[in-house]
Amino acid sequence: MTDLFDGYEVPTVNGRPAWDEMFERSTVARPAAATLHGALHALSRDDLDARATARDGRFRDQGITFSLSGEERPFPLDLVPRVIDAQEWRVVEAGVIQRVKALEAFLADVYGPRHVLKDGIVPHRLVTSSTHFHRSAAGIVPPNGVRVHVAGIDVVRGGDGRFRVLEDNLRCPSGVSYVIENRRMMVRLFPDLFGLHRVLPVESYPSRLLAALRAAAPTRASEPNVVVLTPGVYNSAYFEHAFLAQQMGVPLVEGRDLVCRDNVVFMRTFGVERRVDVVYRRIDDDYLDPLHFRPDSLVGSPGILNAARAGNVTISNAVGNGVADDKLIATYVPDLIRYYLGEEALLPNVETYRPEDPEKLAFVLDRLDRLVIKPVDGSGGYGITIGPQATDGELATARAALIDNPRGFIVQEVVELSTAPTLVGDRLVPRHLDLRPFAINDGERIWVLPGGLTRVALREGSLIVNSSQGGGSKDTWVLAPGRGDDELTDTPFPFGAVVAAGIQPDPGPVDRDDTAQQQQQQQ
């Protein structure tokens, strides 16, 4: 496969090499990826083509697909994995754990005593104006205090090699099924590669998720009954809903399968009702309970929120979590980490302008052609305007939208995301990518799935990695520690221990509104 690497060049940004996940510079592999690089050279183009054909056929046969423009397609898995060494992973893992802790504390506070608002850490008006803040969720205390049972924290790596948080997903984060299936496929297609690497496994995710859901059940349930609630087969993420239910060994249900009576939720099966203790819902808040949200929703379950308030059922993730992943409020997370944990952020945010501030709005309007404009409640890469790639008409539309609704957007500098070799046509070329680590909180510990979902933009120069926008994915290999390395654990790293291990935190308070650095796109 030597010829496939011929002509591969690490992209440059402003005359400097961008960060490539495999190469320190063209033809010189990074130490963690050197073994993989050497092994790939031993493969022929025909061999790789045959494996790609086997991949697509198996994905299609197993129904491992996603919906794009109304068409079901095999999920695009690139055959060149991404490698992250043990020490790099320690940074990401510790930062994700720290962030989830702070967001848990924020949600408990904002739907409870609201100290964070009274103390002026986050402006009251930003919380109450968020489309995902639901007063109907106020006062609902989960049985074990966990609102974020599953989090997907999107991180990106810029030209300096540092990981930064792009956004948080605390409602119904998707993609973990592809992480597991990607690994299974790569083991099947490249068994010899795994013999050359000590790659941390990902297969325990479903069992850990089930344990966390059972731990969140109402205290009366000695043997909790868990269900996965899906909108139905026409949902673009239905494969994941069915996959997780099957892997956990729990029923997959739709709203019509549930009935709420006397603030208790039951599942109807073959004319028999069975009490439900935990609902892992994959339905957005607005469609979950027509009694409290959209009355025209046919996919939810009337009365389920009342049952949760009565303490008879646990909804996972909790209703109202979206206020914490509102992209504008997310710019305050480093402040929340200081406020709740007394620590500095181990993973800094991508720097962001807040156009709801009139001074900052005037500043960004003057340079829209160099910035990225994102709706605060957008997802899937939709609604994003990339200034340097936008037409005059698109910039004019973005300008009008910002002026009309500055609270509805954030504005960020363009960051050239790191790249990795990706098979496009008959050769390997650099393509931009991101990373979504998944964290599970069972109330006792926060566990981060080693690696998570690497999404890659398949179009040349594109910074939008979502599958809904034509992106693909890579298997993410986190290498186990070698001799002399500290062992990776499932427990959170104490802040002092992390700093002592050489992981550098965010260097203190930063006025995100005065300095904008780097950015990208997605969800």
Q: Where in the chain is the domain with CATH 3.30.1490.270?
A: 354-413
What's 446's DSSP letter?
E
User: Can you tell me the distance from the alpha carbon of 363 to that of 513, in angstroms, rounded to the nearest whole number?
Assistant: 10
Which phi and psi (to 5°) does residue 389 adopt? -105, 0
pLDDT one-digit tens code per residue, 238-261:
999 999 999 999 999 999 999 999
pLDDT one-digit tens code per residue, 1-51:
456 788 888 887 766 778 999 998 877 899 999 999 999 888 888 888 899
pLDDT one-digit tens code per residue, 290-334:
999 999 999 999 999 999 999 999 999 999 999 999 999 999 999
Q: Is pLDDT above 90 for 228?
A: yes
Q: How many of the other CB atoms lie within 10 Å of CB of 424?
A: 15
Please compute the mean of the pLDDT values over residues 437-450 and round it to a whole number.
98
Question: Sign (positive/negative) of CA torsion 455, 459, 461, 463?
Answer: negative
Q: Is pLDDT above 80 for 188?
A: yes
For residue 369, the Cα-to-chain-centroid distance in whole angstroms is 28
User: Can you tell me the distance from the alpha carbon of 164 to that of 181, in angstroms, rounded to the nearest whole number?
Assistant: 26
CATH 3.40.50.300 fits 354-413, yes or no: no
Q: Where in the chain is the domain with CATH 3.40.50.11290?
A: 219-312
For tokens 């300096």, the residue is 160
pLDDT one-digit tens code per residue, 208-227:
999 999 999 998 778 999 99
Which tokens go with 480?
């186990």
Q: Is pLDDT above 90 for 65?
A: no
**The predicted structure's pLDDT at residue 424:** 87
CATH 3.40.50.11290 fits 219-312, yes or no: yes
pLDDT one-digit tens code per residue, 89-134:
999 999 999 999 999 999 999 999 999 999 999 999 999 999 999 9
Please compute the mean of the pLDDT values over residues 347-362 and round it to a whole number.
92
pLDDT one-digit tens code per residue, 446-491:
999 999 999 999 888 888 887 666 689 999 999 999 744 444 444 3
Q: Is pLDDT above 50 for 278?
A: yes
* SS3 of residue 207 by DSSP: helix
Q: Is pLDDT above 50 for 431?
A: yes
Which tokens go with 458?
């398949």
User: Can you tell me the distance from the alpha carbon of 103 to that of 383, in angstroms, rounded to the nearest whole number?
Assistant: 25
Lowest-confidence segment of 300-304, 350-354, 361-365, 463-467 by average pLDDT: 463-467
CA atoms within 13 A on the CB side of 516: 22
Buried b (16+ CB within 10 A) or exposed e, 219-240: eebeebbbbbbbbeeeebbbbb
Which tokens go with 495?
């802040």
Q: Please provide the DSSP assignment of 303-365 as one string.
A: THHHHHHTTS-EEESPTTGGGGS-TTGGGGHHHHHHHHHS---SSPBPPEE-TTSHHHHHHHH
User: Can you tell me the distance from the alpha carbon of 475 to that of 460, in angstroms, rounded to the nearest whole number?
Assistant: 20
User: How many residues belong to the chain?
Assistant: 523
Q: Is pLDDT above 80 for 437?
A: yes
Mean pLDDT rounded to a whole number for the chain:
87
Q: Is pLDDT above 50 for 389?
A: yes
Higher pLDDT, 83 or 380: 83
**The predicted structure's pLDDT at residue 17:** 74
